[in-house]
Amino acid sequence: MEIFTDIYLGDSKEKLKSLSDNSVDLIVTSPPYADQRKSTYGGIHPDKYVDWFLPISEQLLRVLIPTGTFILNIKEKVVDGERSTYVMELILAMRKQGWFWTEEFIWHKKNSYPGKWPNRFRDSWERLLQFNKDKKFNMYQEEVMVPMGDWAKNRLKNLSETDKIRDNSKVGSGFGKNISNWIDRDKAYPTNVLHLATECNNKNHSAAFPEELPEWFIKLFTKQNDTVLDPFMGSGTTLIVANRMKRNSIGIDIVPEYYEMVRKQLQPVELYLLEPKVKYEKTKSERRITVR
């Protein structure tokens, strides 16, 4: 079976209209937060955020299959010493739009931005909001309850001794870098708290999330040959992971530089010759890339 990867350059609100109804199994995305990333995305004022997002989520509701899931990564910022409320207002508005708010996962960012202030500690968590069209949805819990797969084995054999020690010292549950827990264990029961560090190895994108994040949700909510959508693909982490996991994927971004970057990364043959470290050669021959 052939896996496709479609990427679009343009405004999500418009480009999404070209997708068919009920054609996507999972949406995983991290939209620009309010008043962040002004240089690249222009920055949306917190007061206007809900109005800006609702037309997009309306399209997402249309293209998602009834048993599909929408994972939204977002966090409100502090404005004038107080937390903004636009995320809560967005949840309330999306429920009126027809979404079910089924769960809120917590992404605990172990390496949060440093700093010290007289009345505030470092913000080290983000919301991962789960929305569904229907109260019955596909969920493959076994896939994430058995983390001792090839992935973990590969990781473990390459772990240096200091890494093992460092990981041992960490307290944590669920999944993530607490790999040492898995050595003597076949099963880990995940919870709705995810412990991951943000990735520092920049891909020329300021806000890339770690590959483990989309990987976990793709495992949990899709099977092979399903289709994953990221309407704010950025550096394309979600698409690359989906491709490696043999899921079809669709990505949209309004920034030409990101679009170009993802396009180049997904071109299999040419870059394979130029790039010494090609990560995803296993699925290379199966991929079909469409650029529009």
Which residues would be at the binding site for a copy of itself (CB under 8 A)? 80-83, 85, 88-89, 91-92, 95, 100-104, 106, 108, 110, 112, 114, 116, 118-125, 135-137, 139, 141, 149-150, 165-166, 169, 171, 173-174, 189-193, 195
Choose from a copy of itself, DNA, none: what does 107 bind? Cβ within 5-8 Å by kind. Answer: none
Which residue lies nearer to DNA by CB, 3 or 60? 60
Residue 111's closest CA among 170, 31, 69? Answer: 170
Q: What is the CA radius of gyration of the chain?
A: 19
Choose from a copy of itself, DNA, none: what does 31 bind? Cβ within 5-8 Å by kind. Answer: DNA
* DSSP-assigned letters across all residues of 221-278: H--TT-EEEETT-TTTHHHHHHHHTT-EEEEEES-HHHHHHHHHHH-HHHHHHH-S--
Angle value at C-alpha 228, between 224 and 230, nearest 5 degrees: 160
From candidates 208, 252, 254, 266, binder to DNA by CB under 7 A: 208
Which residue lies nearer to DNA by CB, 200 or 273? 200
Query: For the window 92-131, what string marks contact with DNA as x by the rule CB under 7 A?
Result: ------------------xx-xxxxxxxx--x--------
Integer Cα distance of 278 and 276 in angstroms: 6
Integer Cα distance of 15 and 222 in angstroms: 23
Which residue lies nearer to a copy of itself by CB, 58 or 89? 89
Choose from DNA, a copy of itself, none: what does 152 bind? Cβ within 5-8 Å by kind. Answer: DNA
